[in-house]
Amino acid sequence: MRDGWLATGRAKSFGRLRLVLISCSIAANAICAGGIYTFPLISPALMARMHLTQPQLSTIMLAAMVGQYAMAVPAGKVLDRYGPRVCSLLASVIFAFGYGMFARQFALTPEGASVGSASAIPQLTVCFGVLGIAIILSYLSMLFAATRTFPQFMGFASGTSLAIFGLSPLFLSWIATEFFTPTDGVLDVTRFFTFMALLTGVVNFLGALILPGPAAADMPVAPTSEATAMAHDPDEDAEAHEETSLLTSSVQSLTGLDALCADQPEHLSAMELLKNPYFGCSLRPSHWLSAEMIKSNIGMIVLSLPTTSHTENISTQVQLIAISDTLARLLLGPFADIISPVPTYSANGVWAFPRKPYVTRIMFMAGAASLFTIAFIWPIIGVRSQEALWPLSVGTGIVNGAIFTTLPSILSSIWGAPNQGRNFGFVSYTCFFGTATFSYLYAFVADSHTAPGEGVCHGVQCWETTFWLSSAASLLATGFAAVLWRKWNSRV
């Protein structure tokens, strides 16, 4: 008996150590994944060395968005089949290659040589496209490692991991400014990206050794009494009861009917999903509300305005976006779980809410759309200096955090968890279309107002048209949210 107790104690200690290691690996993957979002700090160096235009800069950054969003569905399938471990290993190799090749190409490009710069642009673009692929692999790896490792605290696990991911640009921009930017100079891209190649390669490789493999089973479906009798296993019942005891007690204490039942999720094939008009409607808020356009162009927006101080305003705006994004994920995730819980399977296979929702989760999407409308209008009517841009940066971070914190749970509530990665990938495609549309709109509008011989557009006219159209699109997204609520109020 004593030997049994010792074995049990060792097993518990090993289990706790494993959870600590997995948690640390998830946090490390998340904090190191957002290197491409330091692009506003890199843009001045690219312009100074290669004399790139705004459309050329937008093309390089958008290549990362293409790689990230276009590979979302294939990366999700890799994760579903092989688990976070393999995704992290692939991210390690691709990150090291992408950052390393970008650093090498930047170092080999002659400064100010127009011919050399023109030939280097496609190669730099390809490198950022490769980095986009690495990001989606690392992103899915850390997110689903968190939810699978802590299934009984899924909301907190996903919210915390996404919050750390949102903090990544802040952390990496601080490193870039503190250690790789000389006083009164521009970022040393070669040294910084060499450092990023080593950092992300090592962190994700360790994740490949620590993170879990494929999921043992899909989420259960409600069993029939006949299936329950045939497949009854006391050991499995005990394990399921241990993991869902809190959920079951809260569900069964709600009413005399033992559960606040919700409509069953729709498990559709990819073609059925794409043909579903309400799924198409669900894509549009993400399409219009993508904050990538602001995140990738905030550096040029800052430079278009005069400054009233000598502070580094580009870095400040990048950090404001990262901080507000992080706080939104940390606060809105638990808050949404409290006031708007999502349905899940109880121990007896009933798809039900753990308690009555006070509001629908669609309200978070509608609120984000309304906030973005205001955030776009404010710079047009009230911003005439770099220091006054902070409401746009804060609003962008809040909107981005709110959308990507609540979107996975909404998709799971409506279409189930087994294909959640695939569905999230389809939504990511429309995010890319919105990002590409508005980023190129911004780039060409700014380029049309750039004086001959100047590399940077100056004045409100650089982004006024883009922001008016963006505010109208955000207002339209609010209307789409109302349509979704009318259709899905019994599920979310």
Determine contact, residues 32/176, Cβ cutoff 8 Å. Answer: no
CATH of the domain at 349: 1.20.1250.20
Domain check: are 206 and 311 in the same one? no
pLDDT tens track for 277-326 = 666 665 555 455 667 788 878 888 988 888 876 556 787 888 888 888 88
Domain check: are 269 and 201 in the same one? no
Establish if 221 belongs to a structural domain.
no
Domain check: are 292 and 178 in the same one? no
Domain check: are 136 and 266 in the same one? no
Rg (CA), the chain: 24
pLDDT tens track for 109-155 = 776 655 445 677 888 899 999 999 999 999 989 988 887 787 666 66
Domain check: are 313 and 192 in the same one? no
Q: Is the dihedral of CA 52, 55, 58, 63 positive or negative?
A: negative
pTM exceeds 0.85: no
pLDDT tens track for 361-407 = 888 888 988 999 999 999 999 888 888 889 999 999 999 888 887 87
Question: How many domains does one find in the chain?
Answer: 2
Domain check: are 36 and 155 in the same one? yes
The candidate with the shortest Cα–Cα distance to 484, out of 339, 363, 325, is: 363
Domain check: are 144 and 272 in the same one? no
Residue span of the structural domain in which 331 resides = 259-492
What percentage of the chain has pLDDT greater than the value 70? 79
pLDDT tens track for 226-280 = 444 444 444 444 444 444 443 344 434 433 344 577 677 777 777 777 777 666 6
- Is residue 100 pLDDT above 90, yes or no? yes
Domain check: are 29 and 122 in the same one? yes
Domain check: are 349 and 467 in the same one? yes
- Give the C-alpha separation, 172 to 94, whole Å: 19
Domain check: are 311 and 450 in the same one? yes
- Is residue 426 pLDDT above 60, yes or no? yes
Establish if 326 belongs to a structural domain.
yes
Q: Which of 149, 183, 216 is the last residue of a domain?
A: 216
Run of H or E residues at 187: none
Dump the DSSP string for 40-107: HHHHHHHHHHH---HHHHHHHHHHHHHHHHHTHHHHHHHHHHH-HHHHHHHHHHHHHHHHHHHHHHHH
Per-residue confidence (pLDDT) for residue 418, from 0 to 100: 66
Per-residue confidence (pLDDT) for residue 97, from 0 to 100: 96
Domain check: are 42 and 184 in the same one? yes
Establish if 352 belongs to a structural domain.
yes
Domain check: are 417 and 278 in the same one? yes
345 in helix, strand or coil?
strand
- Is residue 13 pLDDT above 90, yes or no? no
